[in-house]
Structure formats: C-alpha cells, structure tokens
A and B are shown apart, each in its own frame.
Chain A
Amino acid sequence: MNAPALKADTTTDRHPLAGHGMSGAEVIVQVLADEGVDVLFGYSGGAILPVYDAVFRHNAMQARADGHGEAMHEAMRLVVPANEQGAGFMAAGYARASGKVGVAIVTSGPGATNMVTPVRDSMADSIPLVVICGQVGTAAIGSDAFQEAPVSNIMGACAKHVFLVTDAAQLEATVRTAFTLARSGRPGPVVVDVPKDVQNTALSFRGAGELALAGYRTRLRAVEQATLGDADCAALFDALMQAKRPLIYAGGGVIAAEAADALRGFVDAFGLPVATTLMGLGGFDSTDPLALHLLGMHGTAYANYAVEDCDFVLALGARFDDRVAGVPEKFAPRAKFIAQVDIDPAEIGKVKRVGWHHVGPLRQALERLTAWGRAHGLQPQLAAWHAHVAELKRAHPMDYDRTSALVQPYAVIEAINRHTRGRAIVSTGVGQHQMWAAQYFDFRAPRHWLTSGSMGTMGFGLPAAIGAQFAQPRKLVIDVDGDASIRMNLGELETVTTYGLPIKVVVLNNVGDGMVRQWQKLYFKGRFAASDKSLHKKDFVLAAQADGFGWARRLQRVDELEPVIAEFLAFDGPAFLEVMIDPDAGVYPMVGPGASYAQMITGDFIASRAAPATDEDATSHMF
C-alpha cells in the first residue's frame, strides 16, 4: 500500500493528546471518542482483543477523571449481542433512530463474516455505520491462518468502502476518514479491517488529519455545493403550474437528508399531496390531509390510485425501486412530467427517465424551491385535485374483517397506535407483520420507523430496537415482529434484559412464514413448502421468561386485546407479548409482480376502483 497524503490539518486548536504515545488500539478508541461515540456494539475475540482492552481502559480512565466509581458510568458503553449480526443491526438501529454513525467492533474471520448481512443491509438502506474488524497479523494474511477471512474482498462487494490497514502510520487518519465516508453524500457502511499487529504498534497520536481521497472528495464537493439556479427553478415551476394533479413521491432520502421540515414547508407553500415509500415513512406526517401514506406493492389503495391519476411526479430521495415501480413503464402512466432530486447521481434516470433533475442536498433544494416559488407568487390551483385525493381516501380506506372471532393483526397495530399516536419508535422483522405495521401505524416524525427496506432482512427487528433504545433512552421503543423473523435473532431477547432496556416486543404469531404463504396461495396453488410452522414446539412466552422478561403474555381472544395492550405498553421494563393472530390474514392492497397499480388487488374489505384484471403475466420471480 502506498502512503496516501494526509489532508492538511485545518483546525488551529491542537488536540490535547497530540504527540502522545499510543498503541494502534488506543488510537482507534481515541478517534471514536473524538467522533462522539458513546456506545459500541460488538463481540470480542482473539484478533480484536487489544481494541477491547483499550476501550476498557478508556472507560476506567474517564470514570476516574469524572470522579465516578469505576462501574458507575461508562464514557463508551460496550453492548455485547448474542451474535455479531445482532451487533450490526443494533448499530444500524442506533444510526436510524439518531441520525448519527452507528459503530460495531468485531473480531476476524467468523466475527467479521457474521457482520456481512447488517453491512449489506445498511448499504441497501443508506445507513451510516463504521465497522471495525480485527484481522490476523499482517505477516499471516493470505496464509489461511486461524480465523482469517478475506474481509476486504467480502465487504468490498457490499459496503460503501472498506479499508485494510496494513501501514500502522495510516491507522488514525483511516479511522477518522471512515466516519466522514459513512456520513457524507449518500450515507453507508464503512468497514475498517485492522490486523492485530497494527493494533499493537506503538504510534504517536496526531489528533487531526484524514486520508486525501481526492476523487471522492472532489465529487462530494460538487454534489454538496450544487445549487438550483433561477432557470432550474423556473423549469420545475413551469411544469408544476401547468399540472392539474401533481404528486410528491418521498423516499428515505427525506429522512437521511434531515429534510422533513423542508418538505413540510414546500407542501405548505404549494399544496402537493405526498405519497411515501417504506423507507420514507415519517418523512411526512401521515395524519395530514395531504398525506397518502405508503405507496407501492402494499401501498394504500388511495396512494396507488393517486399515483395512477397524477399528471406530475416530484421524486424526492426516492429511487423507483421494484417495490414501487415494479413495471417502470406502467408507473404513474399519466404523468406528463417527472422530476427527481437525489444526492446520488447514479439514481437519476436509473429506472425511470425524468424530465427534470437535481443532484444535491435535498433540504437545501426544497428550501430554495419554496423560497423561489413564494418569491414569484406561484400558487398552483389544486382545489379539484385536493377534493379528488380526499375522495380517494374516503372511498378506499384501509380496512379488514372487524367481525372476525380471530384476532386480526391490523386490529393489534391499531390498538397499539391508539396509545402511541406516531410518537413511539417502531422496528419490525420482515414479512406480513412488517407491511401491516407500515400500513396501520401513524408516522408523524422521521427516525421513528426502523425497518429493513431494501434487503428485507428477517431478524432485523429485535436488535434494531435495542440499538434504537440506546440512541433514544427516553423513547418508547416497540419491536413488531413475526414468529419466523424473531427466531432469526432470538438470542437478543436476553440482550434486552441484560441491559435492562424497557423495550416492548410484540410477536404477531401466524404459525409460520405468512408472507411466503401469501405468495404460495397466489402463485403456487397453495402448496405451503417450508412455510408452515404448526409442528414447531417453541413456547415464546416461556422463552421470554427464561431470558428474564418480567412481563410476558400470550393473547388469543379478541375481547382481551384492549386491556392487554394497555398493560403491555404501560409495563415499566422489558415486556413481551405474543399475539395468536388469524393465520389466514393477508396483506392488502397488493400490486402483484408484473402488474400496474390499476390492477392492484384490494382484498375483501378495501373498496377497489375497478374489478382488477387478472394478470396473465404474474409470476413469482420477484419475491
């Protein structure tokens, strides 16, 4: 590895520890402290022992400096999961709930490979992480050493970037740069692979300086400084003023860019209704009259009909992925004009050709557009469109069988929502329960909805809730999980009680992989290969009790729903609720693979606009 130039130190204040002798491990911990890291998620092992030891000593020293007893207060809390995948999702939950970089530290070989899923998951959902992996000593790399894995190759294919630090002199700048990379531009996970001898090398701490990364920084600067000129604003507003039925399609970029307030301002000024992606939930208050809530494969009927009817689309931090635009040519078929704002130039026109675009920070773009439109006195006349949207919401509301003797999962979410009203942090597994939660909860503010959107990783919910509770200790955190999803990281139930986290875990138990069964019913003539769990023996309530949950109950009867939910949410400490739900409950609406929104199936309880045409082309290849 050649020595990259160090970026000039622009700060005039010298770091108080500059010039101090430190081991590589101590340098890592000091950079984490300087970055404001107050909690680490990870699992120790041979190749990372020096770093764990340095964290221990850092905390002991800080405690002495603060005059606390050593066990009292930890400057950098270490949270140990059951499995490294749990640590990765905890770091991701922390990042999603706080907007800060989540940090995980694992050992080489199996520790690092267990981290692959959360790293890829965070890449796909643009979540900033820094993952530090121990690696075998530099001399042993490539020798099939004990617990050696080609982390740089493996992670290089799924992270935003990976560094293998073979020159200890570059360690400090590399760790600092990892944070810059993780949070800048389109955020993502950055992996730093640190051989054990590098952790043990005696170094002199500099206290400042990052790697040059000339190419990345030049491109980043261009994107961050991109502004909308008068002509750009005029072009967008020309199209908007001609539109009769304009719509905003808001994605996760609204949340990543901290642009929810700017979006609110834009909507207040110009009155466009807002449909939100799974990742964008919370980016716009779902209780607002102009909110259409979720769009796409399992979007609300009124959101999807509005997309069918609109003649103008403004895509904000959204990428027309296949859960939204399954058939790109059929998405928003009446739109005469599509505009897109994104921080990532590669997303512009990737799926759908757009007539106007801007690559730059979303908050600034929306503020500029709002100011420009207001300054020019532009006020789209949308009364007829607003009436149309209101009528869609009135005529096609979310609904289900309210007379069933079986507990309906939708009713469970509604009952929780009556208490939380969009103010609790909700995480989920993946499957039907995830979609029901997305559809039936209110979302009033960003960073309250934590779900594995792009990867759709079962097992995400419980560890993500743990990470979120560390980020927001005073918030109510609820994991809405599936019986199959929660099994994937069930070991983390114990982590909840070990750290005394007052997390509420609710499992919607439909005795199997409900979402898989839904597709098998639709596309495989009801052959439930491997998706039925009625022969499984686990008693979830006993399992929760065994892991120390002071409140653990099973709910089976409809008349128990309200009082049990109230007691569950009010419990002061970790609480676990298993709800035996109607195993045949389905997720509706559904835009099947290969179908257009017009062909959406709405089920028996949501009014459809027209009898959906059965789509001959429907296949299951997109599951």
Chain B
Amino acid sequence: MHHTLSILLQNEAGALVRVAGLFAARGYNIDTLNVAPTHDPAVSRLTLSLQCDDAALGQILQQTRKLVDVLQVAHPATALAA
C-alpha cells in the first residue's frame, strides 16, 4: 500500500541523514521526500511517501519516533497518526 508520512524534525546537524538512514537500514524504500521550512526556523517538515503493508507501517512509525530529533510523526491517512 502507498503511505504518506509527515514528520516534524528539529533542524540539527545530521537530522535528515538519520531519518533517511533509518529507512534505508530497515529496508524501506522512500518513493518521494520533500523537506520544507515551518514557521519555526528550528523545525522542518518532512513529507515522505513509501510503499509498505500495514504491519511494516506500524513498525516504521514506531522506529521513526525513536529518533531523538523527531518531534512528531503523523500518518494522516490512518488512526495510527500520533
């Protein structure tokens, strides 16, 4: 299934690499990735789309939430949104 995640990220050195690296290390292929500023200059919004089943999605949401620079991970399409 196709999923879109919205991630609020602290603008720290290497933060984007850590998000991308997590997806790569756990074997999830990112289809599209967009990084945009927010009203807070210390925070960026990542919009990321990928293909995976629901079990994998739950796991990737939980693993992404373990990244220290991640402020929030939302999956607007499902109730799994945090």
| Chain A residues packing against B (C-beta within 8 Å) | 1-4, 152-153, 156-157, 160-164, 166, 181, 213-216, 219, 344-346, 349-350
The listed residue (B14, B58, B70) touching A156 by CB distance below 8 A is B14
Q: A4-B10, A216-B68 are in contact. List 12 more A-B contacts (CB 8 A).
A: A1-B12, A2-B11, A2-B42, A153-B14, A153-B17, A156-B18, A163-B13, A214-B71, A215-B10, A215-B72, A346-B63, A350-B59
B13 touches A164 (CB 8 A): yes
**How far apart sit A349 and B56, CA to CA, in the bound complex (Å)?**
11
Cα separation A2 to B42 with both chains bound (whole Å): 6
Q: Could you give 13 example pairs across A and B, Cβ below 8 Å?
A: A4-B42, A156-B17, A156-B18, A157-B18, A161-B68, A162-B14, A164-B14, A213-B68, A214-B71, A215-B70, A215-B72, A344-B66, A346-B65
A161 partner residues in chain B, CB cutoff 8 A: 68
**Is B76 located at the chain interface by the 8 A CB criterion?**
no
B62 on interface, CB distance cutoff 8 Å: yes
A215 — which chain B residues lie within 8 A by C-beta? Answer: 8, 10, 65, 68-72
The interface residues of chain A lying within 8 Å CB-to-CB of B12 are 1, 4, 163
Which residues of A sit under 8 angstroms from B69, Cβ to Cβ?
215
- B18 CB to closest chain A CB, in angstroms? 5
Q: Give chain A's interface secondary structure class.
A: mixed
Q: Which residue of B lies closest to A344 (CB)?
A: B66
If A2-B41, A346-B59, A350-B59 touch, whether A219 touches B10 (CB-CB below 8 Å) is no
What residue of chain A has the Cβ atom nearest to residue B22's Cβ?
A: A157
Alpha-carbon separation in the docked complex, A3 to B8 (Å): 17
For residue B13, which residues in chain A have a CB less than 8 angstroms away from its CB? Answer: 1, 152, 163-164, 166
Are A152 and B14 interface neighbours, CB within 8 A? Answer: yes
B1: interface (CB < 8 Å):
no
* Contacting pair B42 A346 (CB below 8 A): no
Q: How far is the CB of B71 from chain A (nearest CB, A)?
A: 4
* Nearest B residue to A217, CB-CB: B68
- In the bound complex, residues from chain A placing their C-beta under 8 Å from that of B79 are none
B-chain residues with CB within 8 Å of residue A219 when the two chains form the complex? 65
Residues of B1-59 at the interface with A, using a CB-CB cut-off of 8 Å, are 8, 10-14, 17-18, 21, 25, 41-42, 58-59
A344 to B62, CA, bound (A): 9
> In whole Å, how far is A169's beta carbon from the nearest beta carbon of chain B?
15
CA distance A166 to B13 in the complex (A): 9
Binding site secondary structure of chain B: mixed
Q: In the bound complex, do residue A345 and residue B14 qualify as a contact, i.e. CB atoms below 8 Å apart? A: no
Look across to chain A and name the residue whose beta carbon is closest to the beta carbon of B40.
Answer: A2
CA distance A181 to B67 in the complex (A): 11
CB neighbours (8 Å) of B68 from chain A are 160-161, 181, 213, 215-216
Chain B minimum-CB-distance residue to A152: B14
Beta-carbon contact of B25 and A157 below 8 Å: yes
Contacts of B18 in A (CB 8 A): 156-157
Interchain nearest-CB distance for B39 vs A (Å): 13
Query: In the bound complex, do residue B66 and residue A346 qualify as a contact, i.e. CB atoms below 8 Å apart?
Result: yes
Residues from chain B with a CB closer than 8 A to the CB of A153 are: 14, 17, 21
A404 to chain B, nearest CB (A): 46
CA–CA, A157 and B10, complex, Å: 17
Residue of A nearest to B61 (CB): A346
- B65's contact among A163, A213, A345, A349, by CB below 8 Å, is which? A345
Q: Which 7 A-B pairs have the closest CB atoms?
A: A346-B62, A215-B71, A2-B42, A152-B14, A161-B68, A164-B13, A216-B68
When C-beta atoms are compared, the residue in chain A nearest to B82 turns out to be A219
Chain A CB within 10 Å — which of B17, B25, B62 has the most? Answer: B62
Give the complex CA separation of A3 and B58 in angstroms.
Answer: 32
User: How far is B71's CA from A1's CA once the two chains are assembled, in angstroms?
Assistant: 16
Residues of A within 8 A of B71 (CB): 214-215
CA distance in complex: A216, B10 (Å): 11
With A164-B13, A215-B70 in contact, is A345–B62 under 8 Å at CB? yes
Cβ contacts under 8 Å, A156 to chain B: 14, 17-18, 21
For B70, what are the chain A residues with a Cβ–Cβ distance below 8 Å? 215
* A181–B68 alpha-carbon span in the complex (Å): 9
Most buried by A among B14, B59, B71: B14
Considering the complex, give the chain B residue whose CB is closest to the CB of A155. B14
How far apart are the CA atoms of A442 and B25 in the complex, in Å? 38
Closest-by-CB residue of A relative to B69 is A215
Which residues from chain A contact B72 at a C-beta distance below 8 Å?
Answer: 215
Which residues of chain B have C-beta atoms less than 8 A from A346's C-beta?
59, 62-63, 65-66
In the complex, the answer to whether A1 meets B59 with C-beta atoms within 8 Å is no
Residues of B with C-beta under 8 A to A213: 10, 68
Contacts of A157 in B (CB 8 A): 18, 21, 25
CA distance A235 to B71 in the complex (A): 33
* Chain B residues in 8 Å Cβ range of A350: 59
Set of chain B residues within 8 Å of A164, measured between Cβ atoms: 13-14
Bound-state Cα–Cα, A340 to B13, Å: 36
Tell me the complex Cα distance, A181–B69, Å.
12
Task: Tell me the bound Cα distance from A345 to B69 in angstroms.
Answer: 17
Nearest CB on B from A598, distance (A)? 27
Bound together, the chains give a CA A346 to CA B63 distance in angstroms of 6
Residue of B25, B66, B72 with most partner-chain A CB within 10 A: B66
Within the complex, the shortest CB–CB distance from B70 to chain A, in Å, comes to 5
CA distance A277 to B47 in the complex (A): 40
> Measured between alpha carbons, how far is A1 from B13 in the docked complex, in Å?
6
- A164: nearest chain-B partner, CB-CB: B13
Q: Could you tell me the distance between the alpha carbons of A350 and B61 in the complex, rounded to whole angstroms?
A: 12
Cα–Cα, bound, A216→B41 (Å): 19
Chain A residues with CB below 8 A from B65, complex form: 215, 219, 345-346
Measured between beta carbons, the chain A residues less than 8 angstroms from B42 are 2-4
Task: Looking at the assembled complex, report how far the CB atom of A180 sits from the nearest CB atom of chain B, in whole angstroms.
Answer: 11
